[in-house]
Amino acid sequence: MTEEEFFTIGQIVAPHGVRGDVRIYADTDFPERFLKMTYAYIDGMKYDVENARFHKRVVLMKFKGVDDRDGSERMVGKEIQVTREELMPLPKGRYYVFDIMGCAVFDTSGTRLGTITDVLKTGSNDVYAVTGEDGEEILLPIIPSVIVSVDIEAKKIVADPPEWADS
């Protein structure tokens, strides 16, 4: 197998019962995907899924070959991953954070503001943290009046910073 790029969609947080089931905290906007998975990657190894179901705020999953509590305890702390091809498609205008990270940000006159170094989750809307070459950071709310265009292929974002954003 060639070197794959894996993306984390959840983390195993605890064993569940004595038959090898694990509790998974879903770190995805699409938790229902766990119910349809036939396999997942853990530490780069492919594990076939026997079954999965929701239980309270977690996903309970059973992997083939993990048949007792000792086996499931060894998996605690491991990430559940998928390949890029297995990521859920996003609606137009939505992007995965890992695709946004490192994008160059320009204002509408073409002046480079910096590079996206973080995406902050807030209560109302997410915010891009843009770090300039001088190390100064500006925060840009991810709203249509501020983020004019996003070109993931070119790793370029055009923004119209609000007056309070010192650019």
**What are the pLDDT digits (tens) for 128-161?**
999 999 999 999 999 999 999 999 999 999 999 8
Extract the runs of DSSP E, i.e. beta strands, from the chain: 6-16, 21-26, 39-42, 45-55, 58-63, 79-83, 104-107, 112-120, 127-131, 137-141, 147-151, 156-159
Q: What is the pLDDT of residue 1?
A: 37
**Residue 43 DSSP symbol:** T
pTM listed for this prediction: 0.72
Q: Which of 12-16, 18-22, 162-166 has the lowest mean pLDDT?
A: 162-166
pLDDT tens digits, one per residue of 41-86: 999 999 999 999 999 999 999 999 999 999 999 999 999 999 989 9
Distance CA 27, CA 8 (A): 8
DSSP-assigned beta bridge partners for residue 22: 15, 61
Burial of 146 (0-12, 13-18, 19+ CB in 10 A): middle
